[in-house]
Structure 1
Amino acid sequence: MSREAVVSALTAPDLSAVVDLVVWVDDGVAHAANHLGAVRLHADGTHEVLSGVDPVASEDPMAFLPYEVELATPGPRVSTDNAYPYAAQRILSLFADPDRSPDLAVVHTPRHWFVDEGGHVGEHGSLDVIQSRAPLVMSGAGVARLGVVDAHARLVDVAPTLAVLAGVPDDDLLDANGAALDGAALTAYLEQRPHGQRCRVVGILWDGAHCGDLLDLAANGELPAVARLLHRGTALRGGAVAEFPSVTLTNHTSILTGVGPGRHGVLGNVYYDRAMGEQVVPNNPETWHRSAQWLRPGVRTVFEMVNDHVPQSSSPRTASVDEAIDRGADYGTMALLRMAGGFESATTGMADLLPDPATSPFVQQPDHLDDPYFRWCVQVDDMGLQQVLELWETADDAPTLTWWANVVTDAGHHAGGPRSEPARDSLRQSDARLVAFLDHLEGLGVMDEVTFVLTADHGFESADPGVTGSWKPALDALGIAYRDEGPGFVYLF
């Protein structure tokens, strides 16, 4: 009864500017509703309209493609003009954790400007296709040279793909309980190799990189490193669909475990744990280094999968650079923070080690350093490149799997939204760092022996500064005990 009252309040027409959808699960079936209507979303893809019109009528993962279509019809959009790929599967996953899943989730409209609650000019988190579309580029040894193809994948497919490339046999693409992963290796884009043969694999994450803009800039010569990868591999025009919510820690974890949030347990950047009776905030400078501690039992990271099949040696089998979900990696940036006693203990000493962003050779527009988040991300990414170059000082001692996360692309897209000058500056400088690494590999003479997978954790859309407001007054007026984490995860008591 409480949930029905909350859904009714949140789907009132006067909240339609800020509430895109309300979603929940009842009797194992996903539901979605807004001011236009309500629908049951069955796992087989069928929609059962309960009232009004279907608010998520399209689940097309290739919506607004080719990129010119997105440019010609930029958001924000009402739900009936939008698309919500894999809606049932992603909603069901979010609500699969008995202790951490909310009773319902509220999806902001793409145009909602909620800066007073932590929002930005550029935003993500939605179930919709643009905020959920991350780029996916595969290149090098073991990858077919197909160029840009009209296809898509899911971010849960990245871990099994990395694992197979690194030599993990197909029959070990399982969690710790022996259950199959949610994702699958993208073998359609991989070349046949002798059983058990492995490549040295470099996975690269550009946090929040916009798929369409990345491929467009590469085609126009503005991202030469991405263009080099494309020349030797394959990119999916439809990118890889993020898990819901399309936020950072949820999808970093899905990428590196091959399972959705209802299985790995990191439901969002902030959520509530009923069993512990406390708020959990894994996406925070004070908690990044211990984010992996919230993984559910039975979850297995790609680092653990690879280590099980690579002989122990003096060099790291697996390495995790600037990545929060690093459990099992032989080398990890966050492990260094943990050894230093945590973020607060390490801040004083490690701050002196971070490069000066004002002298970074990769920053093209210094005025963007006035944004504190952008400035800090430049420092982190410059140090990340240093770590990767040290790990690859010689090819013989390089890890079998190197995972390299970059964050300035998130700062640039938050600051100005997709296609803005901060966003494109962040893409260009991330590309320039990648050029430095590729040139290093060329110097070692091993470019043809390395496989690359470049992706992101979500997409981005621009909010409308004229669309403000909150659904909190509508919830408060009901007189029902609740928590709204995020905001967007509503827990009822």
Structure 2
Amino acid sequence: MTESLTRAETRDRAVDALTAAELAGIVDLVVWVDDVDGERVAHAANRQGTVRLRPGGAHEVLDGTDPIASEDPMAFLPYQREVEGEGPRVSTDNAYPYAAERILSLFDDASRSPDLAVVHTPRHYFPDEGGHHGEHGSLDVIQSRAPLVLAGAGVARSGYLDDHAHLVDVGPTLAALAGVPRDDLRDAAGAPLDGRVLDAYLDPSVAPKAVVGVLWDGAHCGDLLHLAEAGELPAVAWLVERGVALRGGAVAQFPSVTLTNHTSILTGIGPGRHGVLGNVFYDRETGERVVPNDETTWHRSAEWLRPTVRTVFEMVADHVDFQGFPRTACIDEAIDRGSDYSTMSVIRGSGSGTGAGGLGDRLPPADQSPFVRDRAYLDDGYFRWGVSVDDLGLAQVRELFADASRMPRLTWWANVVTDAGHHGGGPRSEMARDSLRQSDARLGVFLDHLAGLGVLEDVAFLLTADHGFEAADTSVTGSWRPALESLGVPFRDEGPGFVYFL
């Protein structure tokens, strides 16, 4: 950084460059945090104006028009409104739930938080920098809306509700269902979690014998519920009939990307506290570029958790006696610390230098999977790999539940093909819907397995995802990198979108 400019001055110049009219098609917002009268305050800007944001929805417009006109977490509902509203839209036609809270969390890590974050427009297509036909990562409501379904033992039967929750609520709710006392839902330093137990949807008169959390990575909330109501996802429909589905889903942390939200789900806290700020970020203290969302590094994810982090597996282990079988199990999930059984521990134990790539000889062949509807999608490498991983995941959970008397108290089962289908085709595409249907079929096999053991009514279920999805427009291309380079100062742009001035 040049000696004549402070970091704040450099940031302000970058904001001016990034909010220029010629970048409006690809830059939805630029966000950052600054100290105002001794208080950390969130800010957002684009070519329309600049706003100062405080928790609770307080907006102070500093210039032009408020670029975050709505924070409504129930925007674009019912689902038909989302379908009809799909297309190019400026930020004032969008919604950004809990904007201040989520921005402040992202910027709460002294060494890992960027100086500013650039938010892609919903239509930005950037394949040269890792983009796809379907995208997520934004602060906006659709990319931040993950499905949330609760069902089974310990859950009240309410059906579809016009309500919403937060992904940081998932971990505390799973822990509470598994028997962790409310006063122990804290981090390792004793501080309360960011999330809360979703008591409004629970039935305290029933204690489940086992709790199963299911994550369909990237599953689109609106389309998932639409297909379930249409009879195309019978396993999901079975869950809703025996529990509750929130139309507004669960609001992801920002950025609405995989590892940030997997970690938030399984710790009950936001990224500024748990330390996994994105799928890729920079740590100024160590000088390290951290890429946790990669098959070579997933098994190392615990290394990047901050010291005060406590996973849901560790919470449950503190309150469940070990009886010679896993108290907790973590299937195909990177954030596995504290679990008695986990796929990642198998990878770590193998000594493989390629991480999850070392599972290759254990993965069932995708072209022999009974769950794929259209085998043309297997030409997509990520989709093909996801099919194999999810088939192996089903085999693992069935093995873990081989004996009704030895069920894990808490099982977390992550599935990946839904992310591949939505990236490859975009939401509502046939590729995305194939991924949802096959994931539903796997879930159905597991439910039938539990029924065969005679324990189906004794189990609590929670189905969610880590983020939502929107479709990119292949005609909306470009990069903001030249605007940053024009500042003449050294920087890193990780993601892209996390901008660090060096």
Q: TM-score, normalised by structure 1?
A: 0.98
- Distance of 1:192 and 1:331 partners within structure 2: 28
CA distance in 1, matches of 2:51, 2:352: 46
DSSP-derived class of the 2:354 partner: helix
Q: Is 1:314 equivalent to 2:328 in the alignment?
A: no
Quote how far apart the aligned CAs of 1:347 are: 4.3
Give matches, 1:67-146, under 5 Å.
67-146=79-158
After the TM superposition, which parts of structure 1 deviate over 3 Å for at least 4 consecutive aligned residues? 345-348
**Residues 242, 457 of structure 1: 8 Å contact kept:** yes
Structure 1 residues 350-429: aligned runs within 5 Å: 350-429=359-438
Q: Give 1:43 deviation, angstroms.
A: 1.4
Q: In 2, distance between residues paired with 1:477 and 1:24?
A: 20
Corresponding position of 1:492: 501
Offset of residue 346 of structure 1: 7.2
Secondary structure of the residue aligned to 1:142 is: coil
Give the secondary structure class of the aligned counterpart of 2:362: coil
What does the per-residue CA deviation read over 1:190-211, in whole Å, with 9 as the maximum and x for residues that have no partner? 01237xx553100000000000
1:374 deviation in Å?
Answer: 0.3
In structure 2, distance between residues paired with 1:45 and 1:487: 28
Task: Answer whether contact 2:363 2:392 (CA < 8 A) is retained.
Answer: yes
Q: Report the counterpart of residue 5 of structure 1 in structure 2.
A: 13
Picking from 165, 178, 183, the partner of 2:190 is: 178
What is the 5 A alignment of 1:90-489? 90-193=102-205, 197=207, 199-344=209-354, 347=357, 350-489=359-498
Aligned to 2:3: none
Structure-2 separation of matches of 1:442 and 1:34: 54
The residue identity in structure 2 corresponding to 1:440 is: H
Equivalence for 1:16: 24
State the match for 1:54 in structure 2: 66
Q: How many residues align?
A: 490
SS of residue in 1 equivalent to 2:172: helix
Please, which of 76, 87, 93 is the counterpart of residue 64 of structure 1? 76
Aligned mates of 1:75, 1:261 — CA distance in 2: 30
Aligned match of 2:6: none
* Residue 383 (structure 1) shift: 0.2
Tell me which amino acid in the other structure corresponds to 2:340.
D
User: Is the 1:289–1:343 contact (alpha carbons within 8 Å) kept by the matching residues of 2?
Assistant: no
Structure 2 residue identity aligned to 1:456? A
After TM superposition, give the deviation of residue 150 of structure 1 in Å. 0.3
Q: CA deviation at 1:219?
A: 0.4
* SS of 1:246 mapped into structure 2: coil
Deviations 1:57-81 (A, max 9, x none): 1000000000011111113321000
Identity rate of aligned residues, in percent? 70
Say if 2:208 and 2:460, in contact at 8 Å, map to a contact too.
Answer: no
Give distance in 1, aligned partners of 2:253 and 2:152.
27
* Post-superposition offset of 1:344: 1.9
Shift of 1:342: 3.5
- Segments of 5+ residues of structure 2 without an aligned counterpart are 1-8
Q: Deviations over 1:2-34 (max 9, x none)?
A: 011000000011100000000000010000000
Question: Which whole-Å CA distance do the structure 2 matches of 1:282 and 1:68 have between them?
Answer: 36
> Is the partner of 1:352 in helix, strand or coil?
helix
- Does the aligned pair in 1 maintain the 2:266–2:335 contact within 8 Å? yes
**Secondary structure at 2:139 match in 1:** coil
**CA distance in 2: counterparts of 1:437 and 1:346, whole angstroms:** 24
1:394 positional shift: 1.0
- Within 2, Cα distance between the matches of 1:347 and 1:139? 34
The CA deviation at 1:424 is 0.2
1: distance between equivalents of 2:113 and 2:13? 19
**Is this contact kept in 2: 1:286–1:342, CA < 8 A?**
no
Taking a change above 3 Å as real, the CA distance of residues 346 and 198 of structure 1, as seen in their structure-2 partners, is closer
The question of whether the paired residues in 1 share the 8 Å contact of 2:56 and 2:98 is answered with no
Aligned in 2, Cα 1:236/1:347: closer, same or farther, shift over 3 Å? Answer: closer
Q: Give the C-alpha shift of residue 159 in structure 1.
A: 0.3
Q: Which amino acid aligns with 1:407?
A: V
- Does the 8 Å CA contact 2:175/2:315 hold for their aligned counterparts? yes
- Distance in 1, matches of 2:232 and 2:355, equals 40
Structure 2 SS opposite 1:285: coil
CA-to-aligned-CA distance 1:173-206 (integer Å, 9 cap, x gap) = 1000000000000000001237xx5531000000
Cα distance in structure 2, aligned partners of 1:75 and 1:86: 23
Q: Root-mean-square deviation (CA), in Å?
A: 1.0
**Quick one: which amino acid aligns to residue 21 of structure 1?**
L
Where 1:381 maps in the other structure, the secondary structure is: helix
CA distance in structure 1 between the aligned counterparts of 2:144 and 2:163, rounded to whole angstroms: 15
TM-score, with normalisation over the residues of structure 2?
0.97
Structure 1 counterpart of 2:5? none
Question: What 5-or-longer segments of structure 1 have no aligned partner?
Answer: none
